[in-house]
């Protein structure tokens, strides 16, 4: 959001290895950027996040920092690794839009 506050409609979803769906309300779900990568245009993209789902905490990090797509809309998309403590427990795919300009520095 432009005011740097969490969206009140945030929620989390997790699928177990057996395919069981677990939903998390906004109060049980949070994302916090831990590390940024700066692209050639000067935009800072969060490439490592702390993700909290209920009582569980994970770190999600880009496996390759430079995964920016410069189409009509600049966005970051790519493969990420999922870690619990220091153990890698999975991989995923992440897309981010809305980064760039003065908002990035103001929201840190």
State residue 73's pLDDT score: 85
State residue 108's pLDDT score: 61
Between 107 and 62, whose confidence is greater? 62
Tell me the C-alpha distance between 13 and 27, whole Å.
13
Is 24 in a helix, a strand, or coil? strand
pLDDT, mean of residues 55-71: 93
In whole numbers, what is the pLDDT of the chain averaged over residues?
86
**What is the chain's percent helix, strand, coil content, to nearest 5?**
5, 55, 40
In the chain, the percentage of residues whose pLDDT exceeds 70 is 88
Torsion sign, CA atoms 89, 108, 10, 74:
negative
Q: Whole-model pTM?
A: 0.78
């Amino acid at each position: 959001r432009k005011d740097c506050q969490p969206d009140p409609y945030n929620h989390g979803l997790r699928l177990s290895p057996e395919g069981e769906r677990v939903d998390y309300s906004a109060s049980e779900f949070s994302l916090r950027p831990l590390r940024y990568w700066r692209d050639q245009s000067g935009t800072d993209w969060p490439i490592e996040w702390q993700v909290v789902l209920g009582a569980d905490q994970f770190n999600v990090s880009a496996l390759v920092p430079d995964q920016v797509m410069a189409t009509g809309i600049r966005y970051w998309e790519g493969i990420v690794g999922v870690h619990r403590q220091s153990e890698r427990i999975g991989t995923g795919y992440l897309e981010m839009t809305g980064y760039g300009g003065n908002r990035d520095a103001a929201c840190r």
